[in-house]
Amino acid sequence: MAESYNGYCVKCREKRDFEGEVHETNGRRMAKGKCPVCGTTVTRILGKADA
């Protein structure tokens, strides 16, 4: 289920809202999706409070 997150797009050099899914790697949760402007993969590390 895709949710809306806010993350930093490295290519656009701006914070953007993106639709993404939660992935877990090495015990860390992150939201991963595509930038709506340029299509680059955007990630955001999620804290324990977002659980």
3-class secondary structure for the chain? CCEEEEEEECCCCEEEEEEEEEEEECCEEEEEEECCCCCCEEEEEECHHHC
Structure confidence by residue, pLDDT tens digits, 7-43: 999 999 999 999 999 998 888 899 999 999 999 999 9
pLDDT at site 2: 73
Write the CA distances from 27 to 15, 23, 24, 45, integer angstroms: 25, 10, 6, 11
pLDDT band, very low/low/confident/very high, at 1 (cuts 50, 70, 90):
low
pLDDT band, very low/low/confident/very high, at 48 (cuts 50, 70, 90):
confident
CB atoms within 10 A of CB 26: 4
Q: What's the rounded Cα separation, in Å, for the pair 6 and 12?
A: 14
